[in-house]
Structure 1
Amino acid sequence: MRRITTLLTLMLMVAMVFNIGCKKKEEGEEKGGEVTITGSTTILPIMQRIAEVYMEKHPEYEISVSGGGSGVGITALLDGTADIAMASRTMKDKEWATAKEKQLDIKEVEIARDGIAVVLHPTNPVSGLTLEQLKDIYIGKTKNWKEVGGPDLDIVVVSRDSASGTFEVFNKKVLKDEKLRVDALMQASNAAVRSSVEGSEGAIGYIGLGYITGDVKPIKIDGVEPTEKLILSGEYPIARSLYLYLKSDAIKAANDVVDFVLSNEGQKIVREVGYIPLK
């Protein structure tokens, strides 16, 4: 009888330990979690800083952020390999269709405004182009800077690759879906575009506002500078919104991060990084 009582006591103790462990695990999952964010290199600096600040405040969270382009991020979200996709364009119809086929309810969250700045090498005297001149350069109709009032110097066209949301917006607003010149240097990130332009006197490229440095020269388009005021007023012609995408049933940790981006502190980070906050 004593052996049975002892056995029952041991079983009860094991059950209590198991329940306590499960409860602690559930509490841990509720308090924190791992969040994977990938996509647009335009938004990358924003979310890298967001992750740093948020993890300092909430060490129970583990947030990983990587680039690759808007298309890469959205694909990862739809495939289930990312919790949040960064996109410098809206989702395409075929991406929404894929989400529907997979029975995924996707949320679109605007987090900032941006202008796509056209940049030249600092030594290039050209200070502005019309949209038509810019288009002619990128489709190969104009090949020398002297054709647009600049020096007798071949134009080196630098562009983002097709996985980029920045390319999608530039293609729509500038190229009007005409074919990009075949000898354009295709780059995988804003930083790579900037590096190519600063390394070649005849180069022209386009980057998000947050990537402008003294190593490149932003120019006017149709007589308008890419400033916050002129972007918000709609006068600057190559402007866009920046987005995060996540599933409507995303883990709590992912929703917490998005909420932080939209908070006053998060929007302050948007401005500090070089973009235009929503508020």
Structure 2
Amino acid sequence: MAGKSLSGATTVAVAGILVVFLMAAGCVGGQSSGSPTSEQITVTGSTTVLPIAEKAREAFEEEYTSAEIMVSGGGSSVGIKAVGEGTADIGMTSRDLKPAEIAGYPGIVRHHVADDAILLIVNPGNSVESLTLDEVRGIYNGTYTNWNQVGGSDQQIVVVGRDSASGTREFFSEYVLKNEDFVKTQEEFNSNGGIQQKVSRTPGAIGYVGLGYTEGVKVLSLDVDGTPVEPTLEKIKSKHYPISRPLFMLTNGEPDGLARQYLDFIMSAEGQEIVASVDYIPVQE
């Protein structure tokens, strides 16, 4: 009898443990099913578009707490290739696609998120206030090597530009340089910020950047038919300032899910306010 009682007690105890285990598992399962699922997308490419993407990411993630948006630069060519080959969800570019890129990545869809202008910047100590496009071309192709050749002081010109992955360089090469070769002494950087920093610290330096990169440098006007035109937002919008361009975000096919939500946010009133806050030109009123 004692053996049977012990056996019965053991059975009851095991059953009790099993019930507790199942209840605990049920509780854990209930908590898990009720928790939000984290979503993640990657955005990469143009350092010109980068400030828009980063500011939009900050505001978007505050509203959508389960979203994680990984943003990085690298240049327009990097963004186009990454989205075309599926290693990024969204690419950023400050130039249009080349025919070879259109042929290689036929599914790419362009989303026009903002407009921009290319600014010519010099060190704050430079006395030059404006240049013609011909003078800018002459500086970048090596025709002019001293600032006194374009109305400045007797000082060597330090030419600063972007690397070959840059959409800003592509646009500058086509529109300003007319596809002539850059001077061999040009110092090349892989970001707008790199150029901005170099020019701000180097007497005699000249560089070209997007609208959001003017701290610590002097922005030149462009002489158009004898009239210096400052790159103000009004003059850029009216096309009086001659070097302007669209900025794009790219997807491989029509976006969906988090990528769609993020792009919709950038095109919303709040997102376009962010575009303006980082010194670019909204495309939606």
Give 1:249 shift: 4.3
Match of 1:167 in 2: 169
Determine the C-alpha separation between the residues in 2 that align with 1:116 and 1:78.
26
Does residue 113 of structure 1 match 2:119?
no
Looking at structure 2, the residues matched to 262 and 251 of structure 1 have their Cα atoms a distance apart, in angstroms, of 15
Shift of 1:24: 5.2
Corresponding position of 1:250:
255
Which residue pairs with 2:187 in the alignment? 185
CA RMSD of aligned residues (A): 1.8
1:77 aligns with 2:77: no
Residue 274 (structure 1) shift: 1.1
Whole-Å separation in 1 of the counterparts to 2:33 and 2:167:
42
1:1-279 equivalent positions in 2, closer than 5 A: 33-100=39-106, 105-213=107-215, 215-222=216-223, 223-278=228-283, 279=285
The TM-score, its normalising length taken from structure 2, stands at: 0.85
Asked if the contact 2:86–2:252 (Cα under 8 Å) also holds between the matched residues in 1, the reply is no
Structure 2, unmatched stretches of 5+, are 1-21
Q: Which deviations, in whole Å up to 9, do the C-alpha atoms of 1:87-138 show, x marking residues without a partner?
A: 11111111111113xxxx2211111111111000011000000000000000
Q: Give the match's secondary structure for 1:122.
A: coil
The secondary structure found in structure 2 opposite 1:206 is: strand
1:209 is paired with a residue whose SS is coil
In 2: Cα distance, 1:273 partner to 1:84 partner: 20
Q: State the match for 1:8 in structure 2.
A: none
SS at match of 1:152: coil
Over 3 Å off, 4+ runs? none
Whole-angstrom CA distance in 2 between matches of 1:94 and 1:50: 31
Superimposed CA distance per residue, residues 171-193 of structure 1 (whole angstroms, 9 cap, x where no aligned partner): 11100000000010000000000
2:229 partner SS? coil
Deviation, structure 1 residue 251: 3.8
2-structure distance, mates of 1:227, 1:85: 28
SS in 2 for 1:55: helix
Look up the match of 1:3: none
Instruction: For 1:255 and 1:232, locate their aligned partners in 2 and report how far apart those are by CA, in whole Å.
Output: 28
- Counterpart-to-counterpart distance in 2, 1:249 and 1:87: 17
TM-score, normalisation: structure 1: 0.87
Q: Greater shift after overlay, 192-201 or 241-250?
A: 241-250
**SS at structure 2 position matched to 1:210:** coil
Q: Among the aligned pairs, what percent are the same residue?
A: 43
Query: How far, CA to CA, are the matches of 2:51 and 2:232 in structure 1?
Result: 19
1:250 CA drift (Å): 3.4
Higher Rg? 2
Q: Using the TM superposition, give the Cα deviation of residue 247 of structure 1 relative to its aligned residue in structure 2, in angstroms.
A: 1.9
Structure 1: tracts of 5 or more residues without a match: 1-12
Alpha-carbon deviation of 1:268? Answer: 0.3
**Distance across 2 between alignment mates of 1:69 and 1:99:** 17
Measured against aligned partners, the alpha-carbon deviations of 1:136-172 in whole angstroms (never above 9, x if no partner) come to 0000000000001101000000001111011011111
